Structure 1
């Protein structure tokens, strides 16, 4: 069973506003789970399981889910249960196009003031992704991938771009499991290009490499969604994957 780690998200706006606040901690954990791909499209949330995983009562879970529904990160079903949305091809295409625009700029800005410390951190995270992928440890792949991207975006230090990026990842994050776990789709080449461009202090090349990385996933998911009759990518596999992820 994949556990949610409450304090793992490498983001700024997603962190709790005050220590000891259970509601903030739960919301942070759920946001992190969505952004890093620990939840999958079509997955219906169990208050009992989430409460047990996060060590709290169902009440803060219910309140956090309601806030995420209001933010369009989750959707409420007619029976009042809550699930991760299944995006159709059009929505996926728009989502990943927006990611290329904003995250491309954030990468360029971060590259303009890159430090040796950041490069070392990114190298370490990318190696963690490679190692975990080779061992089939998808939980670690997802965590390290989210940290890799957000280490770059965080270095851009933009109060304008970061909330937008987080909002986009709340919607696109649940698709990460399928893209990173698809044979032959993911390798380290795009991340290596990003690292090489940043190390060379070439901001435009770094932006282009990030766009390539995002589109590799986006184009694949749009194609898969377009060839299926259901409402979103891998919707027929959602229940099976959810059993593995909860």
Structure 2
């Protein structure tokens, strides 16, 4: 993990921790130790503490009764609620991006999709999560809507830790790249509605496996 440069340490610490949430670097329920994070990023504890407090205020992290700061626990209902919002916002981003994307951008996205195929073949789920995020945000970046992109990033920050459980149902793995291929097909045809539908399908198929898995985990928790 790269060290944070000395300039704008508070914002850089915030960005790195939020990126970690989006990328499933942190697990649901994980307590974040300020000193450990400071050592990882090569900074003092102050910018890390302030970044964590900011993320608590934004509800990406939670403050525990003992004053520790942690990643929220898994909640199937919460994930399902955020999913509905993500489908609308990410679908809109894909729809806006479709007419703006040229051959070079489509080629880059196709390359990421090929890497996803290789990661799935190797059962490398960490690589899948990284590449999946890269695919989606390369697409959404082309929407030309920075405020929409910010909203999507915030929602990914809330749901990213859940992605550690995405392959809890093995049947998902063979389908994990279907949505990306559908998006690419729509982009090749210059079909904004098809790009939106591909994103929604990608998110919905994943949730169809993830939500029942989360519910099963919740059922195992002691009352």
Give the direction of change, closer, same or farther, for the CA distance of 1:37–1:229 in structure 2 (3 Å limit). closer
- Deviations 1:54-87 (Å, cap 9, x if unpaired)? 1122221111111100000000111111111124
Residue 45 of structure 1 corresponds to which residue in structure 2?
A: 32
Q: Distance in 1 between matches of 2:76 and 2:23?
A: 21
CA distance in 2, matches of 1:39, 1:235: 20
Contact 1:36 1:145 in 2 (8 A): no
Contact 1:6 1:28 in 2 (8 A): no
Higher relative contact order (CA 8 A, sep 6+): 1
User: Residues of 2 paired with 1:39 and 1:82: CA distance?
Assistant: 12
* 3-state SS in 2 of match to 1:126: helix
Asked if 1:170 corresponds to 2:176, the answer is: no
SS in structure 2 of the partner of residue 184 of structure 1:
helix
CA distance in 1, matches of 2:100, 2:3: 30
User: Does structure 1 residue 93 correspond to structure 2 residue 104?
Assistant: no
Which among 104, 126, 132 is matched to residue 113 of structure 2? Answer: 126
109-118 vs 213-222, greater mean Cα deviation: 213-222
CA distance in 2, matches of 1:48, 1:181: 31
CA offsets per residue over residues 167-222 of structure 1, 9 Å max, x none?
Answer: 11111111122215642213311111111111111111111111010011223222
Length, aligned pairs only: 220
- Asked whether the equivalents of residues 18 and 157 of structure 2 are also in contact (C-alpha less than 8 Å), the reply is yes
Which residue does the alignment assign to 1:70?
57
User: Distance in 1 between the 2:30 and 2:177 partners?
Assistant: 28
2:195 corresponds, among 193, 206, 218, to 206
**Cross-structure match for 2:182:** 193
**Are 2:129 and 1:142 equivalent residues in the alignment?**
yes
> Are positions 1:215 and 2:221 aligned together?
no
Match of 1:156 in 2: 143
SS at 1:160's partner residue? helix
Alignment deviations for residues 119-177 of structure 1 (CA, whole Å, 9 cap, x no partner): 11111212222223333433332222111101111100113311211111111111122
C-alpha separation in 2, matches of 1:67 and 1:31? 10
2:97 to 90, 110, 117: 110
TM-score, normalization by structure 2 = 0.89
Equivalent position to 1:184, from 154, 171, 188: 171
Provide structure 1 residue ranges, at least 5 long, that are not aligned to the other structure: 8-17, 237-246
| Cα RMSD after superposing both structures | 2.3
> Contact between 1:126 and 1:191, CA under 8 Å: does it hold in 2?
yes
Q: What TM-score, normalized by structure 1, do the two folds share?
A: 0.81
